Amino acid sequence: MTGGSLAGMLFAAVALPSGSAAQEPTPQARVEAFAQLPYWPGYWVGETAAGTTISGMAQPGGAPREASAEGGIAMWDNKAPWNDEGRRRIAEVMRAQAARKGLGWGFPLMMNSSTPVQFLITPEEVIIVNAYKETRHIYTDGRDHPPTDDLWPTVTGNSIGHWEGDTLVIDTIMVSDPNAFFQGNAPLSEEAHYRERIRLDGDKLIAEWTIEDPVTLSGPWHARVRLVREPGFDRMIEVNWDNDRTGNEGNVNTIEPPEEE
Amino acid sequence: MRRQLAAAMAAALLLGGPALAQDAPAAGARDEAFAKLPYWPGFWVSEQYQGTTIGGTAAARPAGSPPLQRLNGFNAPYNDEGRARQAEAQRTRGGRRADGWGYPMMMDAATPFQVTITPEETVIINAYGESRHIYTDGRPLPAEEDMWPTVWGTSIGHWEGDTLVIETVQVQMPYTYFHGGPTFSEEARYFERLRLDGEMLILEFRVEDPVTLSGPWSATIRHVRETGYDRMVRMDFSNDRTGQENGVNTIEDTAAESGDR
């Protein structure tokens, strides 16, 4: 019995109706479910962002990141089948890009970034969290997405998942326009549907993406991202904005002088 | 038994440097460790805030109820420096706004948190994505030169039976991040014992701060499961209309009212 089906069976009887209090499986059931789950320790960054220094560059001299054959999921690296509306949105965001600043990576780009993410895997839920405290809660307790009237667009969306062997299969909806949060994301609509398959292959996490969006895409957008462990992290650090001196002069960002102590 | 198990796991990790994936404990050891861990499902708020509505207030407690202890440090045994900081906080509080609760106030908050327990780490995450990473893999605190003050500090922990014992250091003055937080210094050390007692999560909290306190200060916070949550929601600030005028907060017109696009 695969881990995915075991967890699903164990939790099918305790799937949560919306708004109800938690009903937990027996401790023994949890332990058995946990024993079926993989373990993905480490602090993971996108393969093309590995080795990013404090300058924000992955390679000395600022050489451009090498695009993957399949294309990634970022504005600067994708092979998405944009339709007219998608192309219109891209043109619009390119015009304003130099004056933008993000408060994090948002979704989906937190899954392919220079900011490390970690995976916390338990029977009920996989939590993905990064150093900007961006968190994804992927419920693997057998539940469906909440009813439509209990959903609204958020930066990281609403995710459910299940295990197929050691592959985590994730279904995410209700993501607010990713580009609105961080300009590195593609400008998809709130109707976009994101499907991921993540597995550990040797020392890399391989994430296969299929994104469908009736508003901006003419067909499914397939992408593949590889994550590697970033050395030097023995714990999740916290990035805050204490030393942020980003200013803005209309159409470009600026660097403000330091505040007087 | 748990401490021995954690120590055995830790021995498999490189404590002198970043933990490497190839040194991860054997699957059987992890499963055994997991089997001994408690499970604290739910979305927890402090007793003070149970039932808080969108108005930001909770229903008044029954007349004659004993006052609840808080983590805001208002009745801490401050020395001269501590009293000076409290006076400054009193003077500046009205014009402040925050992006979250910070530490320690996220442990005494209306914003629900969840506790995710794995053998290596317990993570406490709330609806603002504020995350506390409490490492229970036997590691000591990092070397002095590898720490710096952060909003949520650096935490290690261990299990004593079903009680999570936490030590947290390198917390920047809590009032800096959230104006409801105490004015302890970066040298404060925080000691917590967290356990489930029936349907309540009990936090025994103690802080020692040679800079602002004349002696240790303790408080006990009881947490209850907030009803109505079947998943962790994500708070963002997309509808934030907080402005400021002459040192006090104001409410700005909506974009439509002010004529913005």
Percent of chain A with pLDDT over 90: 61
DSSP-assigned beta bridge partners for residue A154:
A175
Dump pLDDT digits (tens) for B99-155.
Answer: 899 999 999 999 999 999 999 999 999 999 999 999 999 999 999 999 999 999 999
Check pLDDT > 70 for residue A261.
no
Average pLDDT, stretch A247-258? 82
Higher pLDDT, A260 or A63: A260
Separation CA B166–CA B189 (nearest Å): 10
Higher pLDDT, A249 or B21: A249
Q: Is residue A63 part of a domain?
A: no
CB A173 within 8 A of CB A41: no
Q: Which of B203, B148, B210 is nearest to B184 (CA)?
A: B210
Token pair of A143 as six digits: 């539940």
Check pLDDT > 60 for residue A148.
yes
Higher pLDDT, B179 or B247: B179
Dump pLDDT digits (tens) for A79-130.
Answer: 899 999 999 999 999 888 777 888 789 999 999 999 999 999 999 999 999 9
pLDDT value of position A62 = 52
Give the nearest partner residue to B19 out of A137, A139, A234, using CB atoms: A234
Check pLDDT > 50 for residue A16.
no
Higher pLDDT, B210 or B65: B210
Q: Is residue A19 part of a domain?
A: no
CB B181 within 8 A of CB B175: yes
Give the nearest partner residue to A233 out of B18, B41, B129, using CB atoms: B18
Average pLDDT, stretch B50-71? 87
Q: Is residue A189 part of a domain?
A: yes
Q: H/E element holding B32?
A: helix B27-35
Domains of chain B (ranges; CATH) run 39-53+69-258 (2.40.128.20)
Reduced DSSP (H G I as helix, E B as strand, rest coil) percent helix, strand, coil of chain B, to 5: 20, 30, 50
Q: Is residue A212 part of a domain?
A: yes
Check pLDDT > 90 for residue A200.
yes
CB B68 within 8 A of CB B47: yes
Token pair of A194 as six digits: 């994101």
- B152 and A238 within 8 Å at the Cβ level: the answer is yes
Higher pLDDT, B228 or B172: B172
Token pair of B177 as six digits: 């991040």
Highest averaged pLDDT of the listed ranges A5-19, A37-51, A58-72, B22-36: A37-51
Q: Which of A159, A109, A101 is nearest to A134 (CA)?
A: A109
pLDDT value of position A242 = 72
Dump pLDDT digits (tens) for B150-173.
Answer: 999 999 999 999 999 999 999 999
Higher pLDDT, B175 or B13: B175
Highest averaged pLDDT of the listed ranges A117-126, B24-33, B42-51: A117-126
Q: How many CB atoms lie within 10 A of CB B26?
A: 10
pLDDT value of position B65 = 87
Separation CA B107–CA B202 (nearest Å): 10
Interface mutation vs chain B, best among A130, A200, A235, A240, most B CBs within 10 Å: A235
Burial of A87: CB neighbours in 10 Å, binned 0-12, 13-18, 19+: exposed
pLDDT value of position B87 = 96
Q: Is residue A129 part of a domain?
A: yes
pLDDT value of position A11 = 54
- B17 and A18 within 8 Å at the Cβ level: the answer is no
Q: How far is CA A189 from the centre of its chain?
A: 16
Separation CA A57–CA B172 (nearest Å): 29
Domain count, chain A: 1
The owner of tokens 């330091």 is A258
| Distant-in-sequence, close-in-space partners of A186: CB < 8 Å, separation ≥ 6 | A73, A74, A75, A78, A80, A90, A178, A179
Chain A residues within 8 A (CB-CB) of chain B? 16-22, 24, 27, 30-31, 34-35, 39, 41-42, 120-122, 124-125, 127, 129, 133-135, 137, 139, 146, 154-156, 158, 176, 203, 229, 231-238, 240
Q: Is residue A92 part of a domain?
A: yes
Give the nearest partner residue to A137 out of B150, B151, B231, using CB atoms: B231
pLDDT value of position B2 = 43
Check pLDDT > 90 for residue A142.
yes
Q: What radius of gyration do chain B's Cα atoms show?
A: 20
Check pLDDT > 50 for residue B9.
no
- A122 and B30 within 8 Å at the Cβ level: the answer is no
Q: How confident is the model at residue A213 (pLDDT cuts 50, 70, 90)?
A: very high
**DSSP code of A109?**
G
Separation CA A83–CA A179 (nearest Å): 17
Dump pLDDT digits (tens) for A31-88.
Answer: 999 999 999 999 999 998 888 887 777 765 554 555 567 788 988 788 899 999 999 9
Dump pLDDT digits (tens) for B181-227.
Answer: 999 999 999 999 999 999 999 999 999 999 999 999 999 999 999 98
pLDDT value of position B167 = 98
Average model confidence (pLDDT) across chain B: 88
- A229 and B21 within 8 Å at the Cβ level: the answer is yes
pLDDT value of position B206 = 98
**Which domain range does residue A218 map to?**
3-12+42-50+68-255
| Distant-in-sequence, close-in-space partners of A202: CB < 8 Å, separation ≥ 6 | none
Separation CA B103–CA B153 (nearest Å): 8
DSSP-assigned beta bridge partners for residue B154:
B169
Separation CA B77–CA B214 (nearest Å): 6
pLDDT value of position B16 = 38
Q: Is residue A33 part of a domain?
A: no
B35 touches chain A (CB under 8 A): yes
Q: Is residue A127 part of a domain?
A: yes
pLDDT value of position A101 = 82
- What per-residue string of b and e applies to A125-152 under the rule 16 or more CB within 10 Å gives b? bbbbbbbbbbbbbbbbbbbeebeeeeee
